[in-house]
Amino acid sequence: MSLLSCRVHLIPRATSFGRDGLTLSAAAAVLDFADAVAAFKAGFGKVRATPSPADAGSPWITFDLGDYADWTELAQVAQVLSATLGCHGLALLYYEGAGPMCFKLGLFTAGEAARQLAFSIDDGWECVEGAALPWEAAVFFDDEDMELGALVGGELELRLDEEFGVGSANYRAYHDRTVVQGASIRSPTTSTRP
């Protein structure tokens, strides 16, 4: 496994996850950078991280953990910090497997697990837990990739049936445009990484 990126993002609770990304409420309080760094050091001082404060265009505070690849502890960092700071904590681990892109994602809200995803180029969607987030269909499914964009109604159903077989994980994933455990489509491209 070759690690590409290991990060924890802290996102204000007043941020909503829409189809096109994050929307910060006008009344939202931006997270205090010093509080976030102190909470990280108190809970995970032995883990080296480079914190980056939120900039004008983003509500996120990011902790870049470099080549740290312990997924269990990375998810724990996001969970604990989300509870301590009352925010969303998003853990992201990108790595190269036998093919191009593999990743793990964990979203925690005020310490509670909201979404867990893991995709491997070899095994497809290995972990799918929690409610789907609104932006997932736009990020993980691309009609042009499957040459299905021009098909509608019965034509789409027929093409999905021919391509995947009715009832298969891939059929359900593409038909419903949602991540399905066991499906092998679709991994995000490097250009869509947060």
Instruction: Give residues with Cβ within 8 angstroms of 45, minimum separation 6.
Output: none
For the chain, the domains span 2-130
Q: Contact, 148 vs 99, CB < 8 A?
A: no
The enclosing H or E element of 172 equals helix 169-176
For helices 71-85 and 33-44, the axis angle rounded to 10 degrees is 130
pLDDT at residue 21, as a whole number: 59
Structure tokens at 154: 């019965």
pTM of this structure? 0.76
Block mean pLDDT (10 aa), the chain, length 194: 73 68 58 87 82 73 80 89 90 66 87 90 86 80 53 59 75 78 60 35
C-alpha R_g of the chain: 18
For position 115, what pLDDT does the model report? 92
Long-range contacts for 160-169 (Cβ within 8 Å, ≥24 apart)?
A: 169/124, 169/125
Residue that the structure tokens 């909201």 belong to: 114
pLDDT of residue 157: 62
What is the per-residue pLDDT for 80? 93
